[in-house]
Amino acid sequence: MSASKPGLGASRALPGPNRALDAVISQPTARRAQPPKRTRRSFQLDAALLEELRDAAVHLSGPPHHATLNGLVEQALRNHLAALRQEHELDEHFPTRGSDPRPGRRAT
């Protein structure tokens, strides 16, 4: 490495009126908020419902909505859960389940 070029992590003071900016640059960067954890699930949906959802996602994909299939489904689920909480007079969330439900079809 050449002595005339500062290495990575070397302090680079800015000249004159930029000294305030230099003080900000030299401070450690704050951690960025982590995006919410996401998980992949699969569901069986009515074919006509899925086709209309796909059509809506394509139609609303441009400005100002920038809709995606995943975004539309997530928002619909959030809205429905909010309505269910209100219907069942819950302030925050449904009570935490004791265990995961067994996989497969439910006996009727």
pLDDT per residue over 25-70, tens digit each? 555 656 677 888 889 888 899 999 999 999 999 999 999 999 999 9
Is 96 among the domain residues?
no
- Whether 65 maps to a domain, the answer reads yes
Cα(46)–Cα(57) distance, integer angstroms: 17
pTM for the model: 0.59
CA distance 55 to 108: 35
* Closest-CA residue to 92 (of 81, 76, 103, 100): 81
Decide if 61 is inside a domain: yes
Evaluate whether residue 7 is within a structural domain.
no
Q: Does residue 23 fall inside a structural domain?
A: no
Residue 13 lies in a domain: no
User: What's the total number of domains in the chain?
Assistant: 1
Residue range(s) defining the domain that contains residue 72: 47-87
Residue 69 lies in a domain: yes
